[in-house]
């Protein structure tokens, strides 16, 4: 099934944008990762995942219908070449909603994520774009449908449609209409996420091809969906019980297990730099010395630290350059 077939019932007959729209969506950090697709076209996952959205850090997107024959796409005040991969992905997404040759857009994208933080912006970017398309074409989709729309742009974007803790339910349907985020009814004031930059350069293998290689070549991958399903249960318990050690341990174990499947791929997929491992070792040492700090990592060399506000000063002493976000505000 292709994306247009999935969206057929949601698109209005005239396919014309009615208005401009400006929208924001937050970045999200997965505590249980999405790694591997059961459908590459529709970004349907092999496993459910669970994330926390990063409050005011994310992407602002403005979508304006224009008269020109091609889309004009801006990123953080630079106009991008239409042939760039970024523009092609955005124009292809917009093509899902307009009749060919009928209208173009100026898309202005501004990331409030510090560029040096090494955070992926495709999740917040496609979530903001999905919301803007919904308003511009007056599709009147509900939040779960918006999450489906965002997933068609980039898998993890379906979680960025929501604030707070979000579960991406993997769903069973072939058209993926049951594969979307839902917000957990829970908050954790004082929870801290620290962004530790090891290397902000563009990664060698993007997550799309990385996960495909893992699914196709790593025998270890077979155990991944089983572990992820178990970790989601543990994370939900930890959130309900406010058990920080359980949350941190489960998130760190989950991230390292995902990286084990990457390393077991062929050719091997190692996103770590020597400094990534050195930072992990520092964290293990700090923990041994009694500081409750854990980490998670995505398809790149940077670390995201998890700790509670009571330990903020202590953690900052070891990572003075770290950017800290409190997704639920102060404790
Ligand atoms: O949505 P994508 O294609 O950028 O994949 C995201 C994959 C990870 O960041 C590694 C894990 C996750 O769940 O966010």
Q: Does the beta carbon of 154 lie inside 6 Å of ligand 1?
A: yes
pLDDT of residue 285: 98
Q: Does the beta carbon of 302 lie inside 6 Å of ligand 1?
A: no
Taking alpha carbons only, the member of 242, 248, 230, 221 closest to residue 303 is: 248
One-character DSSP codes across 151-185: HHH-GGGGGTTSSSEEEE-----TT-TT--EEE-S
pLDDT of residue 200: 65
Taking alpha carbons only, the member of 209, 208, 168, 166 closest to residue 327 is: 166
CATH class of 3-183: alpha beta
Q: What angle do CA 152, 158, 162 make, to 5 degrees?
A: 150
CATH number listed for the domain at residues 191-325:
3.30.70.890
pLDDT of 204 > 80? The answer is no
Q: State the alpha helices, DSSP H only, in the chain.
A: 3-7, 85-95, 122-136, 143-153, 207-217, 224-241, 244-263, 274-288, 312-318
**Separation of CA 100 and ligand 1 centre (Å):** 30
Q: What is the pLDDT of residues 59-74, one digit of tens each?
A: 999 999 998 789 999 9
CATH 3.30.230.10 domain extents, the chain: 3-183
Q: What is the pLDDT of residues 178-192, one digit of tens each?
A: 999 999 999 999 999
Q: List CB contacts of 324: < 8 A, sequence separation 6 or more.
A: 192, 193, 194, 195, 312, 316
pLDDT of residue 331: 80
Mean pLDDT of 104-109: 96
pLDDT of residue 114: 67
Q: Which residue has the higher pLDDT, 14 or 309?
A: 309
pLDDT of residue 79: 93
Q: Using an 8 Å Cβ cutoff, are 124 and 60 in contact?
A: no
Q: Does the beta carbon of 34 lie inside 6 Å of ligand 1?
A: yes
Q: List CB contacts of 311: < 8 A, sequence separation 6 or more.
A: 192, 291, 292, 293
- CA 226 to CA 183: how far, in whole Å? 23
Which mutation among 53, 85, 120, 296 tests ligand 1's pocket best, with the greatest number of atoms within 8 A of CB?
120
Q: Does the beta carbon of 208 lie inside 6 Å of ligand 1?
A: yes
pLDDT of residue 296: 98
Mean pLDDT across the chain: 94
Q: List CB contacts of 200: < 8 A, sequence separation 6 or more.
A: 115, 116, 117, 118, 302
Q: Is the pTM of this model over 0.75?
A: yes
**Separation of CA 122 and ligand 1 centre (Å):** 9
* Local confidence band at 117 (pLDDT 50, 70, 90 cut-offs): low
Q: Does the beta carbon of 121 lie inside 6 Å of ligand 1?
A: no
CATH 3.30.70.890 domain extents, the chain: 191-325
Query: What three-state secondary structure class fits 93?
Result: helix
Helical (H) or strand (E) element with 60: strand 49-66
Counting from 1 in the atom list of ligand 1, the atom nearest the Cα of 43 is 3
Q: What is the pLDDT of residues 38-55, one digit of tens each?
A: 999 999 999 999 999 999
Q: Does the beta carbon of 165 lie inside 6 Å of ligand 1?
A: no
pLDDT of residue 118: 58
Q: Does the beta carbon of 159 lie inside 6 Å of ligand 1?
A: no
pLDDT of residue 203: 62
| % residues pLDDT > 70 (the chain) | 97
pLDDT of 37 > 90? The answer is yes
| % residues pLDDT > 90 (the chain) | 86
Query: What three-state secondary structure class fits 21?
Result: strand
Q: Does the beta carbon of 192 lie inside 6 Å of ligand 1?
A: no
pLDDT of residue 116: 53
């Amino acid at each position: 099934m292709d994306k247009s077939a999935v969206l057929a019932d949601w698109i209005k007959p005239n396919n014309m944008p009615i208005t401009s729209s400006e929208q924001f969506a937050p970045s999200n950090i997965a505590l249980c990762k999405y790694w591997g697709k059961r459908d590459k076209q529709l970004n349907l996952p092999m496993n459910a995942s669970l994330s926390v959205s990063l409050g005011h850090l994310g992407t602002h997107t403005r979508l304006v219908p224009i008269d020109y024959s091609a889309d004009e796409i801006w990123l953080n005040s630079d106009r991008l070449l239409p042939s760039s991969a970024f523009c092609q992905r955005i124009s292809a997404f917009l093509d899902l909603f307009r009749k060919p040759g009928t209208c173009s857009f100026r898309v202005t994208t501004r990331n409030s994520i510090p560029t040096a933080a090494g955070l992926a912006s495709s999740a917040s970017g496609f979530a903001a774009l999905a919301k803007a398309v919904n308003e511009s074409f007056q599709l009147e989709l509900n939040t779960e449908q918006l999450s489906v729309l965002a997933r068609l742009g980039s898998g993890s974007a379906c979680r960025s449609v929501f604030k707070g803790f979000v579960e991406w339910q993997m769903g069973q349907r072939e058209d993926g209409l049951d594969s979307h985020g839902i917000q957990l009814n829970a908050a954790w004031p004082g929870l801290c996420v620290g962004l530790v930059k090891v290397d902000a350069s563009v990664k060698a293998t993007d997550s799309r091809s990385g996960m495909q290689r893992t699914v196709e070549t790593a025998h270890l991958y077979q155990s991944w969906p089983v572990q992820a399903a178990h970790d989601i249960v543990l994370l939900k318990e930890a959130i309900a019980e406010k058990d920080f050690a359980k949350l941190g341990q489960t998130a760190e174990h989950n991230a390292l297990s995902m990286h084990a499947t990457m390393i077991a791929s062929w050719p091997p997929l190692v996103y770590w730099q020597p400094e990534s491992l050195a930072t992990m070792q520092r964290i293990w040492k700090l923990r041994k010395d009694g500081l409750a700090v854990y980490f998670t990592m995505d398809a790149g060399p940077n670390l995201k630290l998890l700790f509670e506000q009571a330990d903020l000063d202590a953690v900052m002493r070891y990572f003075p350059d770290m950017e800290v976000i409190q997704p639920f505000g102060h404790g």
